[in-house]
Amino acid sequence: MTNTESSLFGVRFVGSGSAVPDRVLTNIDLAQMVDTTDEWIASRTGIRARHIADGDEDSVANLAAQAGQKAIAAAGLTPQDIDLIILSTSTSDDLFGTAGRVQQILGAERAVAFDLVAACSGFVFGLVTASQYIRTGVYKNVLLIGADVLSRWVDWEDRRTCILFGDGAGAVVLQASSEIKPENNLLGFEMRSDGKGNNLLNINYSGRSTFEPISMNGQEVYRFAVRRVPEVIEKSLHYANLEIHDLDWLILHQANQRIIDAVVNRLDCDPAKAVSNMGKYGNTSAASIPIALDEWVQAGKIQPDHLIAIAGFGAGLSWGSAVFRWG
Ligand code: UT7
């Protein structure tokens, strides 16, 4: 039995949306701030620019609500139709949670809203969480948002980390299948974590009502990603009863082009199927997969019934994958 069988209600993917701040910070700009070059950043990461939050306008709540609004409209729904909002973020505007503000901005008065913290795996973990409420028949329309403003927590004097991150939000609306469309389009998933690697990527509480900037052991996280991500993709493909060449698209967390290339190579995947937009956005944490998904949907590259595998990985350590059919 797969991990998505044996339930009355299937999960459908009915809309996407995304939002990024207007302000763009290029590698050339960064080279004025720290001892780095466009050549180093582009060749080591694939990143050329990122969008950076500029004041309250670009709060997590505002970016998340903009992405959510677009996803709800794309689904042909109104905010009143939403039963549940899950906001995956690790950079909350408020330690008590930001999902309530998103609910308020959207006017999604019927919904219950909460935050989910799983760093760069947040969107995958949020998708699996949302799907459980749908599969059990508890909720019909779920708005899942991945949103992060990591620029708040970057040490802008640390060239090892400040070149990597960008800000933004991406969202999807998940809907319970109906009698007219009875299919379950979430075909397989696998979630993992390993606390032994918890010290490799942190924004630690500093004991003074604030937090330290991001600290990361880049080489260890890189090794972890290249080793572990293919395993969870293979596992979720197995549950879906699919093979890598059945996929139309592979959307990995956009952390480093070299990680994408290595995972594609290990899986023997057609590189043309591997979605990449980190050149424009950098690593937007929980937002990176839904921003990429939405960009490919908007461009008409992702079409209804396309088979998609996504995989997130990052702090925790946490990692996970899901395989689904779009629509
Ligand atoms: O979203 C969460 C998941 N995070 C990730 O997936 C990140 C995974 N890690 C990575 O993507 C890579 O490890 C990095 C992009 C962070 C770093 O690339 P690397 O190839 O692992 O470089 P490195 O840390 O081994 O550094 C190589 C050299 C060092 O100099 P020495 O010690 O060899 O003299 C660094 O000091 O590059 C130097 N360096 C830089 N040089 C110019 C580090 N950052 C920079 C920089 N510009 N920005």
The pLDDT of residue 74 is 98
Domain finish residue from 176, 203, 221: 176
The response to whether residue 218 sits with its C-beta less than 6 Å from ligand 1 reads: yes
Identify whether residues 220 and 307 lie together within a single domain: yes
Separation between Cα atoms, residue 23 and residue 16, nearest integer Å: 23
- CA nearest neighbour of 287 among 163, 68, 49, 123: 123
Residues 108 and 217 in one domain: no
Amino acid letter at 178? S
Residue 6 belongs to a domain: no
pTM of structure = 0.97
- Is 319 part of any domain? yes
**Ligand 1 atom nearest to CA at 201:** 2
Answer yes or no: do 158 and 278 share one domain: no
Residue type, 45: T
Residue indicated by tokens 């308020």: 104
Average pLDDT over every residue of 284-310: 98
- DSSP code at position 303: -
pLDDT category of residue 4 using cuts at 50, 70 and 90: low
The answer on 125 and 234 residing in a single domain is no
Residues with Cβ < 8 Å from 324, sequence gap 6 or more?
11, 13, 185, 186, 187, 307, 308, 310
Give the mean model confidence (pLDDT) for residues 107-121.
98
Shared-domain flag, residues 163 and 228: no
Mutate which of 222, 278, 284, 288 for ligand 1? The one with the most ligand atoms within 8 Å of its CB, which is 222
Per-residue pLDDT of 219-277, as tens digits, reads 999 999 999 999 999 999 999 999 999 999 999 999 999 999 999 999 999 999 999 99
Q: Percentage of residues in the chain with pLDDT exceeding 70?
A: 97
pLDDT surpasses 60 at 1: no
**H-only helix segments in the chain:** 27-33, 38-45, 60-74, 99-106, 122-135, 218-239, 257-267, 278-281, 288-298
pLDDT digits (tens, 9 = 90+) for 137-148: 999 999 999 999
For residues 193 and 296, state if they share a domain. Answer: yes
Given pLDDT bands bounded at 50, 70 and 90, which one contains residue 182?
Answer: confident
| Residue 160 Cα to ligand 1 middle (Å) | 6
At 208, the pLDDT band (50, 70, 90 cuts) reads confident
CA 286, CA 122: separation in Å to the nearest integer?
5
pLDDT band at 181 (very low <50, low <70, confident <90, very high): low
pLDDT for res 5:
59
Weakest mean pLDDT among 7-11, 179-183, 193-197, 310-314: 179-183
Residues 169 and 191 in one domain: no
CA of 200 to the centre of ligand 1 (A): 14
Of 133, 150, 176, the one marking the end of a domain is 176
* Closest to 228 measured CA to CA, from 313, 126, 285, 289: 313
pLDDT: is 259 or 178 the higher one? 259
Residues 279, 283, 288, CA angle at the centre, nearest 5°? Answer: 95
Using DSSP, state whether 221 is helix, strand or coil: helix
Indicate whether residue 192 lines ligand 1 (CB < 6 A): no
Between the CA of 40 and the centroid of ligand 1 the distance, in Å, is 9
Residue 178, pLDDT score? 75
| Model confidence band, residue 7 (pLDDT cutoffs 50, 70, 90) | low
Residue 150: give its domain's CATH number: 3.40.47.10
Neighbours of 118 (CB within 10 A): 26
Domain-embedded: residue 127? yes
The reply to whether 240 and 107 lie within a common domain is: no
Closest CA to 304 of 69, 16, 18: 16
Mean pLDDT, rounded, of the chain: 96
pLDDT at 125: 98
Of 160, 224, 252, the one to substitute when testing ligand 1's pocket (max ligand atoms within 8 A of C-beta) is 160
The verdict on the CB of residue 161 being under 6 Å from ligand 1 is no
Is there an atom of ligand 1 within 6 Å of 159 CB?
yes
Mutation choice for ligand 1 from 40, 41, 44, CB with most ligand atoms inside 8 A: 44
Q: What is the distance between the alpha carbons of residues 157 and 190, in angstroms, rounded to a whole number? A: 37
Q: Does 321 lie in the same domain as 216?
A: yes
The CA distance from 101 to 152, in Å, is 19
Edge-to-edge strands, sheet with 249-252 = 186-193, 318-325, 307-314, 249-252
Q: Provide the pLDDT confidence category of residue 2 given band limits of 50, 70 and 90.
A: low
Quote the number of domains for the chain: 2
Same domain assignment for residues 38 and 148: yes
Interior angle at CA 145, CA 321 and CA 149, nearest 5: 100
Whether residues 45 and 80 share a domain: the answer is: yes
Q: Please check whether residues 75 and 220 belong to one and the same domain.
A: no
Residue 180 banded pLDDT, cuts 50, 70, 90:
low
Strand partners, 188: 323
Which residues are identified as catalytic?
A: 120, 253, 283
Q: Stretch 166-171: mean pLDDT, rounded?
A: 98
Ligand 1, atom 47: nearest CA belongs to which residue? 36
Q: Let me know: does 240 contact 11? Beta carbons within 8 Å.
A: no
Which one of 138, 153, 176 terminates a domain? 176
Bridge-partner residues for 246, per DSSP?
none
Residue 2 lies in a domain: no
Ligand 1 pocket check for 221: Cβ under 6 Å: yes
| CA dist., res. 276 & res. 282, Å (int) | 10
Residues 71-104: pLDDT tens digits?
A: 999 999 999 999 999 999 999 999 999 999 999 9
Going by pLDDT thresholds of 50, 70 and 90, the confidence category of residue 8 is: confident
Residues 58-71 pLDDT 10s = 999 999 999 999 99
Residue 105 is part of which domain span? Answer: 11-176
Q: Is the residue at 53 inside a domain?
A: yes
